[in-house]
Structure 1
Amino acid sequence: MRIRILAVATAAALGVSTLLAGPAAAQGNAPDCISGQWSYVCDADSTGPTTWTVAEVGKPVQTFVSGSAIGGSCRYMLKISYSYVEWDGSTVNSAVATVYCRSGMWPAPTER
């Protein structure tokens, strides 16, 4: 009997904490990124304001709000992700894209 009461109390507590936490975060696709001539461009599946996180070797992590596409200069490997809020209030967090900063020409569309 004691175990059953504990199980019911635990389930109730978890249900209440889930309700208080609000909408759950969803996993989105990694940004679609390309690189060339020491620059990068990334596109997200988001609409509206998008919070981007860009980490480059040897530099501080940058977090900023922009539209669904970003670009900039780079010298080394980048780790890029984004998040945005859906119409229902849920947050979508993307997977992380790894971008190897290329010094050469931009890749042709068929090379991507």
Structure 2
Amino acid sequence: MSLMPTVLVVDDDPSIVELIKDFLENEKFEVRTACDAAEAWKIFQQQAIDCLVLDIMMPGENGFDLCRRIRRDSDVPILFLSARSDDVDKIRGLTLGGDDYIVKSASPGRSWPV
């Protein structure tokens, strides 16, 4: 059993996952990762998670649906991290139970699909 808070990072982009994981581990968080909602749900059911960083656009079940499922049983903090920047997406994420909504920034030479 870890004394460090555990964060579950859910994103289908391995470079984003590694960046967030490295940052959080440097800040003394225990980090679990998943590349899709099905894997995230399995981890969530098997281990105590203190916070989720959750992408919206993933193959299969999207982040909104996973948030809805988690909110049926848990009030764990959920931070959406998405390339979707429309206000309607932000409102939807927060209405479904997200605690914050952060828009991914595009770096030079890279554009995020919307």
Work out whether the TM-score is over 0.5.
no
Greater strand percent: which structure?
1
Greater helix percent: which structure?
2
With a CA cutoff of 8 Å and minimum separation of 6, indicate the structure with the bigger relative contact order.
1
Structure-2-length-normalised TM-score:
0.24
Bigger radius of gyration: 1
